Amino acid sequence: MVIPPPLFNSSQQNVQEFILSTISVVYEVQILLCISFTIIYAVTFFGNAIIILIIQLDTRLQTPMYFFLTNLSFLDICYSSVTVPKLLDILFAGNRKISFYGCILQMYFFHVLGSSEMFLLAAMAYDRYVAICNPLRYTVIMTRAVSVPLGVSAWLGGFTHSTLHTACLLRLIFCGPNIMDNFFCDATPLIKLSCSDTTIDEIMLITTPGILGPSCFILILVSYSYIVSSILKINSMEGRYKTFSTCASHLIVVSIFYGTGIIVYIQPMSVYSSANRFVTVFYAIITPMLNPIIYALRNKEVKGALGKLLCQQRRVQRSIQRQNT
């Protein structure tokens, strides 16, 4: 009887911490990057938080579309919070060390959130398909009993995928070196540091994104093929533009997410290089900031709700000033 190896044996590990790479070794550039990423993180955090607040306060936005947008905004806050604080620690304090368990946890939650966004974008595409192709039945099809399970399934899918992926990586042994070719812990640079057999992990690293990613992307493409077909049947140019504008923001976000994700993950281990770090910056840090900007600037309902909220705030301030005088 063959006894399988333990999931994780700490006694076999010679590496207790990893040294993360920095984006630049030039001090002036590091300061500039530190300021830039601090601003980006602040915009990401407060931009997404404002969208969540607006949707929760405005009863007109209590629809499945904005339920999914709330999930996306919360996901983006968590997504950037997994990587940016440690990156700022590297750039500002020069602390490039991260413990073994800290590295595993960072990688685990990064993949949870990335996988969840992949499933969530597919659910949002289905929502847009129903809204445009079956507008009269939208409220019947996309009920709370449908939208909530779809949102929960997206999160469960992310946790399931990341758990299985991390469980395989925990079987690896790290003897040294411990310098990681990235500014945060990710699967590919972690596998490259292992001194044990990584065949299964390399296969899973390629096949899992290579199956789940395209599957979700195909669902999105199918949804948009029906959407485009329905839009082309509209006679007026104004009607076509108005209908397409309801899903344009989602289409832009999908293009950015999959465009950068394919470059980072759908490639063999042998071609992975430090140049991927710069693509990862856009994928992991800038994209979560762009999402609220894209939805806020292109969505009239969100802009209207924000304007209403600001007007109410001004009225409250004026009322307080009158009482004080």
CATH number at residue 278: 1.20.1070.10
pLDDT score for 277: 67
Question: Does residue 261 lie within any of the structural domains?
Answer: yes
Average pLDDT, the chain: 82
Q: Domain of 290?
A: 10-320
48 in Cβ contact with 69 (< 8 Å): no
Question: Does residue 1 lie within any of the structural domains?
Answer: no
Q: Is the pLDDT of residue 11 over 80?
A: no
Phi and psi at residue 186, to the nearest 5°:
-130, 165
Question: Does residue 4 lie within any of the structural domains?
Answer: no
- Report CA dihedral (50, 258, 109, 64) to the nearest 10 degrees: 50
Q: How far is CA 176 from CA 17, 193, 198, in A?
A: 10, 7, 15
Pairing of β 97-99 and β 17-19: antiparallel
Burial class (CB in 10 A: 0-12, 13-18, 19+), 127: buried
Q: Is the pLDDT of residue 15 over 80?
A: no
pLDDT score for 41: 94
Give the pair of three-digit tokens for residue 249: 């923001």
Residues 6 or more apart in contact with residue 287 via CB below 8 angstroms: 76, 256, 257, 260
Question: Does residue 30 lie within any of the structural domains?
Answer: yes
**pLDDT-derived band at 103, boundaries 50, 70, 90:** very high
Taking residues 217-245, report their average pLDDT: 86
pLDDT in tens, 25-69: 788 888 999 999 999 999 999 989 988 988 888 878 888 988 999
Distance CA 65, CA 62 (A): 8
Alpha helices in 266-299 (DSSP H): 276-281, 287-298
Question: Does residue 5 lie within any of the structural domains?
Answer: no
Range in 8-22, 101-115, 166-180, 213-227 the model is least confident about = 8-22
Q: How many domains does the chain have?
A: 1
Q: Is 97 helix (H, G, I), strand (E, B) or coil?
A: strand
Taking residues 142-170, report their average pLDDT: 90
Question: Does residue 164 lie within any of the structural domains?
Answer: yes
Question: Does residue 3 lie within any of the structural domains?
Answer: no
Question: Does residue 2 lie within any of the structural domains?
Answer: no
Enter the DSSP assignment of 21: P
Distance CA 194, CA 115 (A): 24
Taking residues 271-278, report their average pLDDT: 61
